[in-house]
């Protein structure tokens, strides 16, 4: 192993001499959410222990990590979300050609969710059911006759779209749309479940809430671009009236992104990053272990590596 590692390092250093990639360390960005943190640590450990590459973990915001890859300061982003960051990722990968995107994506979801107990208590099946005042009233927690629904945190780009969806479906007339931090919204779900009260809320996945509670995604017509026109608040003051979205969200996803210079400077690293394939189940389990079980991300990464040695072996061939 030591000889193999030594040979690998020699080849990296030789390649690095003719390449702008830093020979001393591959810098891995660590965004501020649990699954990305665990993935960053997995990449860190695999590069260190399997490929013999020195690494550095650097905690940064997701946008900063991408722009630092563009500047050559960071080499790896463990979890770039699409379509959220697609404009920036396209600019760096296609126009500037400094960013490579893994061909492998993890499917993500955005829906309106309820607990299974809620479905049984209220009979709700579809998002459009919320338009009925008698259905909406079953989600009334403050006695004003209208239901309440969490549509996301105030700073999220999805929250604006959820307002558009509520307006297009019409349940902004029957439900009070609540914006609040995710911690508060999830605690509200926990409290509703504990007390046996119906609750309906915006949900995205992979997310540990699907492990914590028995969650049902409400039905919607399939995504239809012809029925999905988004004008943002920043674009137009009359954004809500000019927008329309009364179908399900388009498919979302996330993937690993890395500096294109790795492809020539450290092809084994680029190859591994392009082959690493996490499933939604992997990601949910990581999020659950960190958030619910309170384990440090580095420990979750080590456990995951120990349990998935065969998969890692395939990716590092």
Partner 1 sequence: MIKLPSAFRTLLGWLPALAVLVFAGMALAQSFQTQIYDPTTRKWVDYTPRAAAKFYNRHGQSPEEFRRQVVPFRTAEKPGTIIIDGDRHFLYLVQPNFQAIRYGIGVGRDGFGWAGIVKIGRMQEWPTWTPPPEMIARDPESAKWANGMPGGPDNPLGARAMYLYVGNKDSIYRIHGTNQPWTIGLNISSGCIRLNNEDVSDLYSRVEVGAKVIVLMQGAALYKGV
Q: Which residues bind partner 1 (CB under 8 A)?
A: 140-144, 146, 148, 154, 163, 166-167, 172, 176-181, 183-184, 186-188, 190-191, 193-195, 197, 208-209, 212-213, 240, 291-292, 294
Residue number with CB closer to partner 1 (203 or 273): 203
Residue number with CB closer to partner 1 (210 or 304): 210
Write down the least CB distance from residue 316 to partner 1, Å.
33
Determine contact, residues 101/93, Cβ cutoff 8 Å.
yes
Write down the least CB distance from residue 298 to partner 1, Å.
18
Write down the least CB distance from residue 208 to partner 1, Å.
6
The structure tokens listed for 212 are 């914590």
Write down the least CB distance from residue 143 to partner 1, Å.
4
Measured between alpha carbons, how far is 167 from 162 in angstroms, rounded to an integer? 8
Residue number with CB closer to partner 1 (88 or 212): 212
Identify which of 160, 159, 211, 214 has the alpha carbon closest to the alpha carbon of residue 181: 159
Residue number with CB closer to partner 1 (38 or 312): 38
Residue number with CB closer to partner 1 (197 or 275): 197
Which element (helix H / strand E) includes 184?
helix 182-195
Write down the least CB distance from residue 268 to partner 1, Å.
37
Residue number with CB closer to partner 1 (44 or 167): 167
Determine contact, residues 152/159, Cβ cutoff 8 Å.
yes
Counting Cα atoms < 13 Å in the Cβ hemisphere of 166 gives 25
DSSP 126: B
Write down the least CB distance from residue 59 to partner 1, Å.
20
Pairing of strands 200-205, 175-179: unpaired
Measured between alpha carbons, how far is 251 from 265 in angstroms, rounded to an integer? 34
Counting Cα atoms < 13 Å in the Cβ hemisphere of 197 gives 15
């Amino acid at each position: 192993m030591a000889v193999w590692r030594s040979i690998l390092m020699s080849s990296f250093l030789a390649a690095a001499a003719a390449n702008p990639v830093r020979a001393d360390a591959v810098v891995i960005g660590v965004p501020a959410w649990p699954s990305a943190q665990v993935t960053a640590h997995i990449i860190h450990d695999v590069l260190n222990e399997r490929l013999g590459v020195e690494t550095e973990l650097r905690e940064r915001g997701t946008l900063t990590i991408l722009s630092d890859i563009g500047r050559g300061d960071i080499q790896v982003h463990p979890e770039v979300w699409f379509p959220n960051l697609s404009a920036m990722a396209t600019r760096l990968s296609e126009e500037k050609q400094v960013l490579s995107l893994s061909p492998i994506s993890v499917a993500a979801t955005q829906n309106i969710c309820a607990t299974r107990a809620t479905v049984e208590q209220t009979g709700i099946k579809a998002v459009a059911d919320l338009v009925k005042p008698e259905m909406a009233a079953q989600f009334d927690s403050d006695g004003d006759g209208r239901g309440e629904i969490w549509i996301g945190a105030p700073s999220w780009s999805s929250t604006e779209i959820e307002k558009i969806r509520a307006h297009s479906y019409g349940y902004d007339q029957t439900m009070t749309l609540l914006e609040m931090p995710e911690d508060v919204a999830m605690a509200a779900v926990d409290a509703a479940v504990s007390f046996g009260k119906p609750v309906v809320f915006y949900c995205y996945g992979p997310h540990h809430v699907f492990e914590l509670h028995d969650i049902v995604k409400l039905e919607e017509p399939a995504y239809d671009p012809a029925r999905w026109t988004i004008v943002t608040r920043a674009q137009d003051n009359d954004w809500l009236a000019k927008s329309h979205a009364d179908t399900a969200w388009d498919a979302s996803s996330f993937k690993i992104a890395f500096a294109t210079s790795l492809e020539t400077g450290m092809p084994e690293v680029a190859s591994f990053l392009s082959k690493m394939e996490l499933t939604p189940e992997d990601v949910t389990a990581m999020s659950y272990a960190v958030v619910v079980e309170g384990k440090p991300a580095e420990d979750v990464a080590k456990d995951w590596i120990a349990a998935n040695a065969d998969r890692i072996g395939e990716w590092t061939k």
